[in-house]
Structures are given as structure tokens and as C-alpha cells.
Amino acid sequence: MVLPTEPIGSIPRPATLIEGIQGFKAGRISQPELNALYESAVQDTIQRLEATGSPVITDGEQAKHSWATYSIYGLENVAPDGVPILFADGHVRNFPRLTAGPFRYKTPADVYLEIALRYAHVPLKQAVISASALSLLYPHASIGGYSREEYLDALIAEQEGEIRRCLQKGAHVVQIDFTEGRLSIKLDPTRRLLHSFIDLNNLVLERFSSEERKRIGVHTCPGADRHSTHSAEVDYAELLPSLFELQATNFCVQLASEPDRKRVLKLIREHAKDGQRIFVGVIDPLNPRVETPEEVRDRVLEAAEYIPPDRLGTTDDCGFAPFSDDTSRTRETAFNKIRARVAGTALASKVLGLE
């Protein structure tokens, strides 16, 4: 039994799809034509991910506008000028802002899952955005006739439904993307915001049985976009104790790009709870150089010194293109890096006597 390994989610979109999206916005191509491009990108991505040997794959999030806003993209009661997320390289991504109630998802993740299932021959993982990230949609100035409590209540119901349908439709695992953990400490050093994020996500997770929660994971990273992150400067020690309070089973933790991995691993060992499996990041998507399988192997073995193999897995630090317009990495690089992860994890498994 080799160590489990799985991707985070996104893969850079093919140039034809990016051009198609721009063409659709400019009115040059129709919705059915764009849909065909999406479907073709999903099919190609799945084929190529399967070819890497990855035992679990994703659809590469080819049809998602972004990892964070896919479910609300196109809603009429959402404006683009919400909370700004500042990245270390100076670029800003504004989170959307809810302008009116009621709140409903427009395109939940299971819609993407259904399409991917048509083409996949190996288990599919489905990523969903966390309730805590979407909680930032509600503006500081409240919305008349639609309270924050009503919004959060609707949000939790929407996410529960989304996760439940993904599980029912056959997702191997559902991963909740929780990249705002370290960001929250940057926004509110008192950590009240972080605790609220954890509590909100747990309100969703508690609606699932312990058996269902075995198929639910959480991904954390400092929010990669283009060549930068939004909160890598926040010490992991601020986040990890609270992170493992989340009532999920699997934790995909960015690690490869950490300057002091051993320190983070010690923190994980200290704070992870029994029954939680840690998928450590062994690939750094922001680094254009493709890791060798031997490098990956060594990172896994390093992690195995702190996390017992029966609770260890591997993953990438982050998706390779969380936003659909991100062209800072190539598809080829992403697939090569994933291939290195799979091979390196197998090498480490052998050393650990797991084969």
C-alpha cells in the first residue's frame, strides 16, 4: 500500500480556452461554443492527469472562473468591489460583494463534477470553496432586509448541499479550500476572525456524519496567484493549532515552499488530532523548476519523521492556476510536477516499506 497522493485542484487552462473565454466576453463566440471548449479542456486535462499515474485526479478546474468565486460567478446580486485581497507582488484581487438577498449558489461544484465523471477512469476529487471565504461576501454596511445571520444561514445550507451532492454523485473526496486562514491573521491579528472562520466551517462539517467526514478534507495555503501569495509572511504557528480544530479528516497542507519545513512538521505533529490524515505539500507550484522524484522522495521521508505513514499523504502546495486568467505557469510544467509527485511518493513508499 503506497502513500496516498492527490492534487489540489487547478491546472492552467489551454490557450484555446483562455482565448475562447475572452472571445465569449467580447461577443465573438456563443455560449454553446464556449461550453464545448470547456468540455474539451476538461477531457484533455483528465486524460493528461491520468497519464501522470496520479491515483486520484481532479478536473483541473477548467470550467471554473476561479477557485473562490465559481459558485457565485454570474449572480446578479453580487458586485465586484468587495474586500480587496492584497498579494505580496502588489497585485490586488477584489473579492465580490453581496448587494441583496436572498443568497443562493449559481453553479455549485457538483455541476463541474458531473461533467468530469464522464471522462474520468480513476477516483475524482472535487474542491469546493469554504463557507468562511464566502462569508466575506457580506458587506460591513448591512443589506437592508437581509441580515448577516440570514446570509450565513443560507450560505451554510448551500455548502452543505454542495458537499452532500458531490459525495452522493461519486466524488472520491471533497476538499474544502480554506486559504484564508493565514490571511485572516493578517487582517485581524487578534485571531478573532480566524476563530470565527473555524467555527463557521465547523457548522458546515458538523452536519455530516463521521463516516461522511472521512471523505471530506481541507486545503490550506497562503493563497497563490500568479507568482505570489497573499499571506505567506504570516507564521504557520498562528494558524495550525486552530486549523486542526476543523472537523475534517484529511488536511492538504502547503509545505514545500515553507522556508523551515521541519518547524512546520513539528507543529503539525503537535496539533493534528488522532484520525486526521495529513497530505503534505511536496511540490511548489510557484517555482517554475520541476522537482525531481528524488527531491519529492526526500521531502516525504522528512515528513515521515514527524507524521506516521498511516496518517501521511502527499499533495501539491496549491493549485497550479486558481484563477482562470492565470497564465504564469504552463500546463506542461503542471503535469510534469504532478508526475514527479507521484513518482517521488512511490519511491518514498518503497523506502518506508509500504510497497
Residues found near another protein in the complex (CB under 8 A): 82-84, 86, 88, 90, 92, 94, 135-136, 138-141, 148-149, 151-153, 156, 185-190, 192-193, 195-197, 199-200, 203, 206, 233
Min CB(68)–another protein separation in Å:
17
- Please check whether residue 329 is in contact with residue 289, taking contact to mean a CB–CB distance below 8 angstroms: no
Report, in Å, the least distance between residue 279 CB and another protein: 27
| Of residues 111 and 152, the one with the C-beta less far from another protein | 152
Nearer to another protein, 153 or 325 (CB): 153
Cβ proximity to another protein: between 227 and 311 the closer is 227
**239-248 residues labelled b (16+ CB within 10 A) or e (exposed):** bbebbbebbb
Place of cell 510557484: 286
CB 303 within 8 A of CB 280: yes
296: number of Cβ within 10 Å: 25
Would you list the DSSP string of 281-330? EEE-TTS-SPPPHHHHHHHHHHHHTTS-GGGEEEEESS-S-SBTT--SS-
Shortest spacing between CB 99 and another protein, in angstroms: 12
Residues in the chain: 355
Which residues fall within 8 angstroms of residue 184, CB to CB, at 6 or more apart? Answer: 132, 191, 193, 194, 197
CB of 195 to another protein, least distance (A): 8
Provide the minimum distance between the beta carbon of 235 and another protein in the complex, in angstroms, as a whole number.
10
Q: How far is the CB of 226 from another protein (least distance, A)?
A: 14
Dihedral of the alpha carbons of 237, 242, 247, 248, in degrees to the nearest 10: -30
Distance of alpha carbon 221 from alpha carbon 296, whole angstroms: 18
All cell numbers assigned to 228 = 505570489
Beta carbon nearer to another protein, 138 or 279: 138
CA distance 42 to 9: 12
Q: Which is nearer to another protein, 198 or 342 (CB)?
A: 198
Contacts of 35 (CB under 8 A, 6+ apart): none
- Dihedral sign, Cα of residue 303, residue 285, residue 57, residue 52: negative
> CA angle, 17 as apex, 129 and 286 as ends, to 5°?
55
Residue closer to another protein, measured from CB, 85 or 338:
85
CB of 340 to another protein, least distance (A): 26
The residue (of 148 and 269) whose beta carbon lies closer to another protein is 148
What b-and-e string marks burial along 336-347, b requiring 16 or more CB atoms within 10 Å of the CB?
ebbbbbbbbbbb
Q: Which is nearer to another protein, 90 or 145 (CB)?
A: 90
Distance of closest approach, residue 346 Cβ to another protein, in angstroms? 35
Peptide bond into 123 cis (omega under 30): no
Rounded least distance, CB 156 to another protein, Å:
7
Toward another protein, which CB reaches closer, 230 or 341? 230
